[in-house]
Structure 1
Amino acid sequence: MRPARNDAGPVAGRTEKAFDEVRRPTDTEVPANRMDKAPSLSVAASNAAPDVAPDLAGDHRPGQRQRDPRLDFFRGLGMFIIFVAHLPGNWGALWIPARFGFSDATEIFVFCSGMASAIAFGRVFEFIGWRMGTARILYRMWQVYWAHIGLFLVIASMLAAADATGWFAKDYVGELNLHYFFDNPAVNLPAFLTLTYVPNYFDILPMYIAILAMVPIVMGLRRIGGPGLAMAAVVVMWLVANFRLIDLPAEPWSNRPWFFNPFAWQLCFFTGFAFMRGWLAPPPVSRRLAVVAALVVIATVPFAYFRILGAVPELLEMARAILPVTDKTHFGILRYVHFLSLAYLAWIAAGEAGARLRGSGAWGVFVRIVQKVGQQSLAVFLMSLVAAQAIAIVRDQVSTEDYMGQIVSNLVGFAILIATAYVVGWFKQAPWAKKPHKQQAVPHRAHSSEPAAATAAE
């Protein structure tokens, strides 16, 4: 049986060294002076450029561009939501955005990853060439693949070790439905390494890897027929997936498909990609559009909020009837519409160029912390899934049915995510490579008996 899972799903992000050449923007790239007009959640991916590049696109290089404050802020919020959604038995998961609408943190993760990739990888395709762009994508796929392998091994080992102690009443391996893996590792380990075994809870990174593999194809189509042909192919691929014509196997012992069909979710990814490359024009600031977006968001609440569905059987039946267009696996069209509506409202709320995210005082401190988490999204995402399981084990032994235990477990998790972001950010600055402050040299001659290395610089 599949374990209960939270609908908010993981979520994303990514930075890699982007192409640093100073140049005039082309017709396919959003110039710097137009960045303030891009959708708020669209900017949430600019972590992919040298200093703005997303963590899920690779390592960033400081000092090349000024960060858009909206970029990291919304991705950081997504990382906190991901933790809340994946902490087992977390009462807070009843109040995340996914409980009040069709879309959730997964859309933020994927959309922003698309924008991130447009900056980190799109520039390589445009200015170095298709072959080098493809090589760059393959390199990033390789990195994310090993992150996926390591994440699974760490969590599976932790849960197996917890069960092996005999100290706990709960079956933690069973909680993530991993008994099949441990019962037949000779079959399931090769399947895991080839991504034909994708356990629940570990399904976001394989989806991201598969979508990355589509970037060279889309960029090739753009080269042949322009952005129109590229985006037409994206839409056709989404339609094929939604007609259930293509799925990927998720486990050797059943016909269960991947929980996130990459051929469907690539629509969300390449929407962000297209906004950042300038293939799609940003929407205008309009009161009428804002009203329409707000109405869409409000109208979805009765079909998503569990208390309303439980109290009104007719709405529950309607919610079940529209499942084909709200389906998470195949990225139903109503999820897409709901997410774009939320993104538009978030863009307006952030103000022009993210002006409302540039405050000082307590609000400024809060924004900067969230942005730091968004800047290191891959590392934070990996840590959030590990921390969620570890915290749940400890919480189960201390307190499970009181608000204080729930509050403390969430706060501890948030602290771990924040600490991870700051530590990883510090390491990425390579402080050991900085030139030391000049000091007056003190004449010193090493004794002949001292090792030669004693006089060498580290």
Structure 2
Amino acid sequence: MTITADQPPRPIAAAPHPRAATGGVRIRDPRLDFYRGMAMFFIFIAHTPGNVFNSWIPARFGFSDATEIFVFCSGMASAIAFGAVFDRAGWRLGTVRVGHRVWQIYWAHLGLFLACATFLAALDQTGAFDTVYIGTLNLWKFFQDDPGPLLVGLMTLTYVPNYFDILPMYLAILLMLPIVMALARLHPAAAGGFVVVLWLLAQSQLWSWGGLGLPAEPWSDRRWFFNPFAWQLIFFTGFALMRGWLPTPPVRTWLVLVAAAIVVAFALMSDVAIREAGQTWARDWRGDNPLWVSKSNFGILRYLHFLALAYLAWVIAGPGGRALNGPDLPVAWRRFVAVVTKVGQQSLAVFLFSMFWARVTGFGLDQVGRDFGTVALANAIGFALMIALAYGVGWIKGQPWKAPRP
């Protein structure tokens, strides 16, 4: 969600000029991690097979979903983490720093795939279950007699199954960051023009040659489900806001009303409206106009819906996030915010675990059934483990072994 500084509007940790050094301690806006933490819980629900709560997460009430929150907040976090390096150490070392993060994301992606594939294959090898679990992620070809070509495809990111497509998209966007920073040295408008043109070129239905995209499997013409050339638009929107290349939107009554009207209007075309209110016209319109709402190519109405939600969330959070964690709020609420924020601070580790644990949870629900109580308990267990992991990773990152013994 849009995380900006207090009135008077001024982006946190934003450089007044692309070449200016930020200096000092990096400021971490609490709203950034809180909203990213909320996205982690929604992502777990959405990826757990047969999770009845998936029908009622916020994504079902509009076009955008937790993916936009994750990518947008990652853009803002990258402006803090990497932007300061570019300012302080220069473009070359800034690029090296981004490359190091890309290296980490690459191996995290491979590890996630192998962990999930091994778990599903182990279930199938027992011969105790009617379900062929490798088929639940469409991994048939990977386990065929000659897995060599797909191992090459896995390592070169030319084989990207749908369930494992978020991290490659994020990795590819990070590779664009040095280009954007180089263009911003000329003028932030040059970087913005590059981002917009790249998004336009990724809209496959606009171009007879199919637009920009990356191959997802060697035996067909399927592309990555999350097209990084399109999704970089939301990433660099967050990046530009945190850097100060885009102005902070003012808090105005008319802007709040416009944003709320957009959210309500799109809710009338949402999955919930189609499912619960029988809005067949909305289903037909979405089917006839995929360009506007495409998830793969990040349709413009998804962008508009997210910006409206982000603006409302920012206004609700209040200056500096005081409406989230202000000292006058109830203790129970502030503890809840602290827990969600901790999850958001360790989003990569939590994301990797949640994607794996979602498959474990799906298997467990296959065995015990999917009534309301069992699914609610499965979600609660998953949330608890994600929270425990976030605190554990945070503790380890603090390098407690370096602290002097009492």
Would the TM-score normalized by the shorter structure come out above 0.5?
yes
Give, as a single letter, the amino acid of the residue that structure 1 aligns with 2:181.
M
Whether the aligned pair in 2 keeps the contact of 1:121 and 1:136 (CA below 8 Å) is yes
Cα distance between partner residues in 1 of 2:189 and 2:219: 41
Aligned residue in 1 for 2:324 = 357
After alignment, is 341-350 or 386-395 more displaced?
386-395
Cα distance between partner residues in 2 of 1:119 and 1:148: 23
User: How many residues were matched structurally?
Assistant: 386
Deviations 1:356-375 (A, max 9, x none): 11134211111111011011
* 1:368 correspondence with 2:328: no
Aligned residue in 2 for 1:218 = 180
Give, as a single letter, the amino acid of the residue that structure 1 aligns with 2:382.
G
Cα distance between partner residues in 1 of 2:317 and 2:347: 20
Aligned residue in 2 for 1:433 = 402
| TM-aligned CA deviation for residue 66 of structure 1 | 5.6
| TM-aligned CA deviation for residue 404 of structure 1 | 0.8
| TM-aligned CA deviation for residue 115 of structure 1 | 0.8
Whether the aligned pair in 2 keeps the contact of 1:79 and 1:381 (CA below 8 Å) is yes
Aligned residue in 2 for 1:256 = 222
Give, as a single letter, the amino acid of the residue that structure 1 aligns with 2:133.
Y
Cα distance between partner residues in 2 of 1:369 and 1:419: 10
Cα distance between partner residues in 1 of 2:43 and 2:316: 22
| TM-aligned CA deviation for residue 36 of structure 1 | 2.7
Aligned residue in 2 for 1:192 = 154
Cα distance between partner residues in 1 of 2:136 and 2:257: 43
Q: Residue 274 of structure 1 aligns to a residue in which SS?
A: helix
| TM-aligned CA deviation for residue 110 of structure 1 | 0.6
The verdict on how the C-alpha distance between 1:264 and 1:253 changes in structure 2, with shifts beyond 3 A counting, is: same
Cα distance between partner residues in 1 of 2:282 and 2:72: 30
Higher RCO (C-alpha 8 Å, min separation 6):
2
The verdict on how the C-alpha distance between 1:37 and 1:146 changes in structure 2, with shifts beyond 3 A counting, is: farther
| TM-aligned CA deviation for residue 67 of structure 1 | 3.9
Superposed, 1:276-315 pairs within 5 Å as 276-308=242-274, 311-315=278-282
TM-score under structure 1 normalisation? 0.81
Aligned residue in 1 for 2:42 = 81
* 1:389 correspondence with 2:359: yes
Q: Residue 329 of structure 1 aligns to a residue in which SS?
A: coil
Unmatched 5+ stretches in structure 1: 1-11, 13-29, 47-62, 438-458
Displacement over 2 Å in runs of 4+: 34-39, 63-69, 305-310, 312-315
* 1:422 correspondence with 2:391: yes
| TM-aligned CA deviation for residue 152 of structure 1 | 0.5
Deviations 1:161-220 (A, max 9, x none): 011111212121100001111113111010010000001110000001100000111111
Whether the aligned pair in 1 keeps the contact of 2:61 and 2:273 (CA below 8 Å) is no
- Kindly name which structure, 1 or 2, has the bigger radius of gyration based on alpha carbons: 1
Whether the aligned pair in 1 keeps the contact of 2:26 and 2:80 (CA below 8 Å) is no
Deviations 1:413-442 (A, max 9, x none): 1011101101101101111100122xxxxx
User: 1 or 2, which has the higher helix percentage?
Assistant: 2
Give, as a single letter, the amino acid of the residue that structure 2 aligns with 1:319.
R
| TM-aligned CA deviation for residue 64 of structure 1 | 4.3
Whether the aligned pair in 2 keeps the contact of 1:264 and 1:331 (CA below 8 Å) is yes
Whether the aligned pair in 2 keeps the contact of 1:380 and 1:417 (CA below 8 Å) is yes
The verdict on how the C-alpha distance between 1:240 and 1:66 changes in structure 2, with shifts beyond 3 A counting, is: closer
Cα distance between partner residues in 2 of 1:269 and 1:411: 30
Q: Residue 169 of structure 1 aligns to a residue in which SS?
A: coil
* 1:344 correspondence with 2:311: yes
Give, as a single letter, the amino acid of the residue that structure 2 aligns with 1:361.
V
TM-score under structure 2 normalisation? 0.91
* 1:116 correspondence with 2:77: yes
Give, as a single letter, the amino acid of the residue that structure 2 aligns with 1:267.
L
Aligned residue in 1 for 2:369 = 399
Cα distance between partner residues in 2 of 1:396 and 1:354: 41
- Taking only aligned residues, the RMSD between alpha carbons, in angstroms, comes to 2.1
* 1:35 correspondence with 2:5: yes
Aligned residue in 2 for 1:325 = 292
Cα distance between partner residues in 1 of 2:155 and 2:394: 30
Aligned residue in 2 for 1:272 = 238
* 1:72 correspondence with 2:33: yes
Unmatched 5+ stretches in structure 2: 14-23
Give, as a single letter, the amino acid of the residue that structure 1 aligns with 2:375.
Q
Give, as a single letter, the amino acid of the residue that structure 1 aligns with 2:356.
V
| TM-aligned CA deviation for residue 245 of structure 1 | 1.5
Aligned residue in 1 for 2:19 = none
Superposed, 1:46-61 pairs within 5 Å as none
Q: Residue 159 of structure 2 aligns to a residue in which SS?
A: coil
Deviations 1:382-423 (A, max 9, x none): 0000110011111211122x1111111111110111011011
Cα distance between partner residues in 1 of 2:101 and 2:163: 22
